[in-house]
Chains A and B, each alone.
Chain A
Amino acid sequence: MQARKKALWLSILPGFGQFYNKQWIKGLLFLGLGISFFLVFGDLLNMGFWGLATLGTEVPRDNSIFLLAEGLIAVIVTIFGLAFYYVNLRDAYKNGKLRDENKPLSSLKSDYQNLIAQGYPYLISGPSLFILIFAVIFPILFSFALAFTNYDLYHSPPANLADWVGFDTFAKIFTVDIWRSTFFSVLGWTIIWTLVASTLQVALGIFMAVLVNQKDLRFKKFYRTILVLPWAVPGFVTILIFAGLFNDSFGAINNDILAMLGIDAIPWLTDENWTKVALILMQGWLGFPFIFLVTTGVLQSIPDDLYEAARIDGASIFAQFRNITMPMILIATAPVIITQYTFNFNNFNIIYLFNGGGPSVPGSTAGGTDILVSWIYKLTLQSSQYSLAAALTILLSVFVIAIALWQFRRTDAFKEGA
């Protein structure tokens, strides 16, 4: 048998392949690391995988949620263990191969130097990866796992156990009448909201930028400064201010502006449709300055020669706008524009801070203007329907990822960045 195969087989026990290759110190290192891995994590792995499979069998000894968390940590630790194991196998195989070819084996010293040189990128990106795993990846996995359990108010520790239920929760979203009707009405409004509000702010932003950028317009600086103000003031502050302005009984819009124009008070916060109108107008106010800023940057970089040439050819102002200005803007700002749509799709702040997703709808857990995100928030924090909220989170993430992937395909950033 070739040395590389023997070394590989012996490495099933970490270190033994290295012993076979007569690399004693390295072998000891691998063996030691392997043993200490099981000593340190043995209990966690044992308990974790048992807990992950059963979610507990006995109350009050077992806490399903703890067991689930422990199980997921066990999975993460296992992945790291497997990576280490792979390094061990590869090292034994590589040195076995060198023996087959009668070449000198790599010394510990050169391995070490190699590790330092090649390890540098790992060293400096390690902390980020660590934070990502525990602050982002682990919670997301945990949320996703909850979607496949029946964890809610009635199946929560310490009095009760939760259990795996597979795709039941997903099926219920589409089969239980009240859930289905709520889901589709929330989804419908989420989509309308995303399309209308984003389009309004983008169109307004581009229009204002073109308007201010006219060569012979005066007071440019003044207009620009005022127009970016809504972007500079923190969003939550403006939303809360608008909540006061739109207030049905004492808001300034009803009492001052509409009264001055002789229009009756409008139930902005108690009528679903008027709340929707107010939300869309507000998002236009809040969102257009950013597009305005970006578009202004693009406009200033369009060379004058283009317009000069067009003028000589006798193109009208509108023809110049349609054939030069607009294409230039759209090409340069396309990625920014698309992010406006994904942003609004998840724009929790404006919906929740303005009117709490209300006015409330009788018999439904979602208010009349709740979008998916704010509905999930309410399900989690107010009615403790964790598994339903988790299942909705998954549906929503799939939706967002699909759109984002489509966008990256189009802009080709995926290929370039990789």
Chain B
Amino acid sequence: MNKAKFFRLLISHAILIFMVVIIIYPLLWTVGASFNPGNSLISTTMIPQNPTLDHYRELFAGSESLQYVQWYLNSLKISIFTMIGAVICVSFTAYAFSRFRFKGRQNALTLFLLLQMIPQFSALIALFVLAQILGMMNSHWLLILLYIGGLIPLNTYLMKGYMDSIPMDLDESAKIDGASNTRIFLQIIMPLSKPMIAVVAMTGFTGPLGDFILASTILRSPEYYTLPIGLYNLVNDVMGASFTTFAAGAILISIPIAIIFLLLQKNFVSGLTAGGTKG
């Protein structure tokens, strides 16, 4: 091993270890905070002296302002229905755009491209005003519909790009054998688009979990909150006062999501670059 190589590797490891520390520190600190007794952050240490499970118990105790289980279920419900709705809408529409030449196709594609650029919060004022007047505040279904609508333009584009790369010969030979359009879609196109469907399902599921702006506009009573709003209010009502409880809640939501992300990361990257570059 020559000297230059040794130093290069040494420096590389030094930088990487530094980054690992920077990444791990906040995460471990949160884990530590969740086991610390008391509510305040002042006494928080990374390795608690008297570790306690109190904060986790508190989450499930179900007080008026802390309905963690309810928020969890709300978030799960919204995410699952958004995911299902988005996958169905996006894959059918992408199939139509990819395999059929129909009147208005061009215009619709341009419309999707345009809508995909207009940020969804443009609708924020309208939603706030209308939901208030029409009494649609706190409606989960309205929120789900909005999320699905927001996901359609970009994801249809990506999915269409992906389906374009599936050879037409497959459809044509199936058609000669007498398969209907729907059957071709369900039995040939869908199975072959699995990586991209995984991406759409993933964005559909995690999108609502990361959204604060739309959900906080529409959901106003604690029993309808999703996790982001609930946890935000928990931290911000009395800053620092219930940070330890927040930490416990944050860990319980982060672990399952992080595992799914890490398992699906290959799909994510390949689906995104494949669909993206082919337009």
Contact = CB atoms under 8 A, between A and B. Distances in A.
Contacts of B60: none
A234 B257 contact: yes
Given A135-B149, A397-B119, A401-B117, A244 B243 contact: yes
A140 B26 CA distance: 39
A237 interface: yes
Interface stretch (B47-55, B193-201, B227-235): B227-235
A383 to B, nearest CB: 12
A351 B29 CA distance: 22
Given A230-B23, A397-B122, A137 B129 contact: no
Interface in B188-240: 206, 209-210, 212-213, 217, 228, 231-232, 235-236, 239-240
From DSSP, what is the main secondary structure of chain B's interface residues?
Answer: helix
A238 interface: yes
Contact of B157 (A144, A157, A393, A417): A417
A386 B246 CA distance: 33
Nearest to B246: A240
Contacts of B269: 293-294, 297
A414 B250 CA distance: 41
Contacts of B44: 250, 252
A326 interface: no
B251 to A, nearest CB: 9
B253 A125 contact: no
Contact of B152 (A65, A131, A241, A352): A131
Given A250-B40, A397-B122, A223 B243 contact: no
A371 B86 CA distance: 30
Interface in B97-132: 97, 100, 102, 105-106, 108-110, 113-115, 117-130
Contacts of A234: 206, 209-210, 228, 253-254, 257
A179 interface: no
B93 interface: yes
B265 A118 contact: no
Interface string B11-33: 01101100110111011011001
Contacts of A231: 261
A118 B104 CA distance: 12
Contacts of B89: 127-128, 131
A231 B106 CA distance: 36
B41 interface: yes
B249 to A, nearest CB: 9
Contacts of B270: 297
A223 B213 CA distance: 34
Residue of B123, B150, B268 most packed against chain A (CB within 10 A): B123
B246 A128 contact: no
Contacts of B187: none
B145 interface: yes
B254 A335 contact: no
Residue of B114, B128, B246 most packed against chain A (CB within 10 A): B128
A372 B108 CA distance: 30
A365 to B, nearest CB: 15
A418 B161 CA distance: 11
Interface stretch (B62-70, B166-174, B271-279): B271-279
Given A125-B92, A237-B250, A389 B125 contact: yes
B146 interface: yes
A245 interface: yes
Given A136-B150, A389-B125, A240 B250 contact: yes
Contacts of A8: none
B92 A228 contact: no
Nearest to B266: A297
Nearest to A129: B108
B137 interface: no
Contacts of B148: 131, 135
Interface stretch (A49-57, A101-109, A208-216): A208-216
7 contacts: A121-B105, A128-B93, A135-B150, A142-B123, A217-B13, A233-B257, A336-B273
